Structure formats: structure tokens, C-alpha cells
Amino acid sequence: MNQLEEMGDRLRKHRIAIGIKQRDLATKAAVSTDVISALENGRSISTESLARVLKALGLRDALANLLPAPVVSPIDLQKLAGKQRQRVR
């Protein structure tokens, strides 16, 4: 099982556990039932659709928790004084 399939399986189980039908979740998330089906079956959907579905499932912070907040050392902060990195070269 790949990562998208595992995530879809977990979201399906969560949806069922809270007792919401795919159709109702789609309405609440303002996406089509095809998007819900694709997500639950491990197919790719847009980030915006994923965010809407997670919010509708009460998992609003799930995306924010995917990556830890960047930690900048005090030395790097001093080096960057006044400069904010815009890109990596």
C-alpha cells in the first residue's frame, strides 16, 4: 500500500467512524463525490480539495502538523538580521 492509499484508507475509516456519508462530506467540503472517492482510493487530488475535506472532517490542523515549524539557530538569526531568504540557489 502506497502513502496515498494509506492516507485515503485512514480518512475513509475516520469518515465512517464519525458517521458521515461520502455525499454529505462532499457537500460539507464543497467538493464533488468523485473527489472524496479519489481521495479515499489513494488517487491524487488538489491540495485545496484536500484542505477542504480535512476541515470538513474536523481535521483542520492535519496539514499544519505534516511539517514541523522551521527552527532557526540564534547564529543564523544574527546573520540574517534584516534579510529574509526568498529562495534557495
Question: Residue 31 is part of a domain; what is its CATH number?
Answer: 1.10.260.40
- Taking the C-alpha atoms of residue 31 and residue 39, their distance in angstroms, rounded to an integer, is 11
71 occurs within a structural domain:
no
Residue pair 55/29 in contact (Cβ under 8 Å)? The answer is: yes
9 occurs within a structural domain:
yes
Predicted local confidence at residue 59, as pLDDT: 92
**What pTM does this model have?**
0.73
Predicted local confidence at residue 69, as pLDDT: 77
| CA quadruple 46, 48, 52, 57: dihedral sign | positive
Mean pLDDT for 44-67 is 90
Number of domains in the chain: 1
Q: How confident is the model at residue 83 (pLDDT cuts 50, 70, 90)?
A: low
Instruction: Report helix, strand or coil for 14.
Output: helix
DSSP state of 70: P
Q: Domain containing 51: what range?
A: 3-66
Q: How confident is the model at residue 1 (pLDDT cuts 50, 70, 90)?
A: confident
